[in-house]
Amino acid sequence: MNFGDLEEIWTDYESARFVVLPVPYDLTASYLPGSRRGPAAIIDASSHLELYDEELDMETYQKGIHTLPFLEIQVGDPQCVVDAVRNRVTKIISDGKIPVVLGGEHTVTLGAVLAAHDCWREITVLYLDAHADMRDVYQGSKFSHACVARRISEICPLVQIGVRSLSFEEKNYIMEKGLTCLTTREILNGSLDLDKLIGNLGETVYITVDVDVLDSGIMPATGTPEPGGISWMQLLDIVKCVCRTCRVIGFDIVELCPVPGLVAPDFLVAKTTYRIMGYLSLKER
């Protein structure tokens, strides 16, 4: 199935502005597995979207949205998954398109960031997540979902937003490296300065959204939930500002762990994905 259940005229790869890459992978999940089912749930929910976006007053799908086949995963080796995502996303960017990666666990983001860095060099990653993900090694792997931000910080600058769970080791690493990490508490207290955020990001940005950055009341369907979190509108306000001001060359949404019979979180992620495509299309209009 194509994202949005679109007619073939809007899904041709050559003319599509956006290319959706589903990556059903959750080998390193450390609490609840199941995010491997996230991409299918998002694409299924997207078939129920209204394709007219009332906020943007446009039909984003007319920019073209091509959905690639689900990435085949070698479940025994996280490095192979990272490499496979990197190769696929490099091709998408090289073809002049915007990659939209649907996870799967957060490890898949590393491959996409490596590809973005290969193609653009000077990039910053906007990392929206409840967890710092700054461990050097977790459960014996440097490619755990708990290590993704640490690996990214070794490649390019990143700015973290929405963190409300981290280890002492991670806190020390963030302080030592002088990394920008804005907690959920600071956002809810009104300390988020969007102009300052833009200044920290630079011109070219890749965005990654772990759905657990959202309040668990509206996003219970995730493998490592944390109490509290930002609202859907707060998430959109942040992403909209970045898309309006910076050159966003790709994004992903990860860590949806579908709950049977509970479709609202799946639909929320599908609508968020479509809305971000809309923000990027609006800038080009």
Q: What are the pLDDT digits (tens) for 168-197?
A: 999 999 999 999 999 999 888 888 888 888
Query: What is the per-residue burial (b if ≥16 Cβ within 10 Å, else e) of 61-84?
Result: bebbbbbbebbebeeeebeebbeb
Query: What integer best gives the mean pLDDT of the chain?
Result: 94
Q: What is the pLDDT of residues 56-105, one digit of tens each?
A: 999 999 999 999 999 988 767 888 899 999 999 999 999 999 999 999 99
pLDDT at position 232 over 80: yes
Is residue 40 predicted with pLDDT exceeding 80?
yes
